[in-house]
């Protein structure tokens, strides 16, 4: 067996989750599947990868290393305490720290965070991306869920129902995604 390289490790990092955010005129839903995989083995089928943070008005989901994501959630909550009700500013400050602080640079995760007005993807490369469409997804099944959600946008006005359908499609295609869906919602 050949030794794993850092690119192998990084590529395997994104296998094992699908996070999807859907925004409609009346609702925001962020959801994840429950599967945690190590290589070709399913380690857990009911993991919770989405949660409410701050005062409960912000929804967040993660793909990547769990401990790293929790560290980033804690940091984001600290930024939100410093910049209350300013998700975008807090996200930019987190991204700056993530990119420049030696300790944080090693953290491997992607975050989707959203409040009533804004949906953002935060990366360790210092990116804070606001999606062009009212749906965004990350993780190994992210492109499948994203494609399905975009196709359903004109036909399903309920964010949670749309997201559950899209996640079901992703689970049918991606072996690293299951149908044990966790959902958090906000009225917008």
Residue 51, in any domain of the structure: yes
Residue 161, in any domain of the structure: no
pTM of the full structure: 0.89
Catalytic residues: 17
What's the CATH code of the domain at 131? 3.60.20.10
| Cβ partners under 8 Å of residue 169, min gap 6 | 144, 145, 148
The structural domain count of the chain equals 1
How much is the mean pLDDT over the chain? Answer: 89
Domain of 115 in residue numbering reads as: 21-36+45-136
Average pLDDT of the residues in 81-96: 95
The C-alpha atoms of residue 36 and residue 16 are separated, in whole angstroms, by: 5
Phi, psi for 166 (deg, rounded to 5): -65, -40
pLDDT for res 9: 42
pLDDT for res 1: 37
Residue 115, in any domain of the structure: yes
Residue 177, in any domain of the structure: no
pLDDT for res 50: 97
Residue 165, in any domain of the structure: no
Q: What is the pLDDT of residues 44-78, one digit of tens each?
A: 999 999 999 989 999 999 988 888 888 899 999 99
């Amino acid at each position: 067996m050949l030794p794993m390289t850092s690119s192998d490790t990084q590529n395997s990092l994104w296998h094992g989750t699908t996070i999807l955010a859907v925004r409609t005129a009346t609702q925001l839903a962020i959801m994840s599947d429950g599967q945690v995989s190590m290589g070709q083995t399913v380690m857990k089928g009911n993991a919770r990868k989405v949660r409410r943070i701050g005062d409960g008005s912000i929804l967040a989901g993660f793909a990547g290393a769990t401990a790293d994501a929790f560290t980033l959630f804690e940091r984001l909550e600290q930024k939100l305490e410093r910049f209350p009700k300013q998700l975008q500013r807090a996200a930019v400050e987190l991204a700056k720290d993530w990119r420049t602080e030696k300790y944080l640079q090693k953290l491997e995760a992607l975050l989707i965070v959203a409040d009533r007005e804004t949906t953002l993807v935060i990366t360790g490369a210092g990116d804070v991306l606001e999606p062009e469409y009212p749906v965004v997804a990350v993780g190994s099944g992210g492109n499948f869920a994203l494609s399905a959600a975009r196709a359903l946008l004109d036909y399903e006005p309920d964010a949670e129902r749309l997201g559950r359908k899209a996640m079901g499609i992703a689970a049918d295609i991606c072996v690293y995604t299951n149908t044990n869906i966790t959902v958090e919602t906000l009225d917008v």
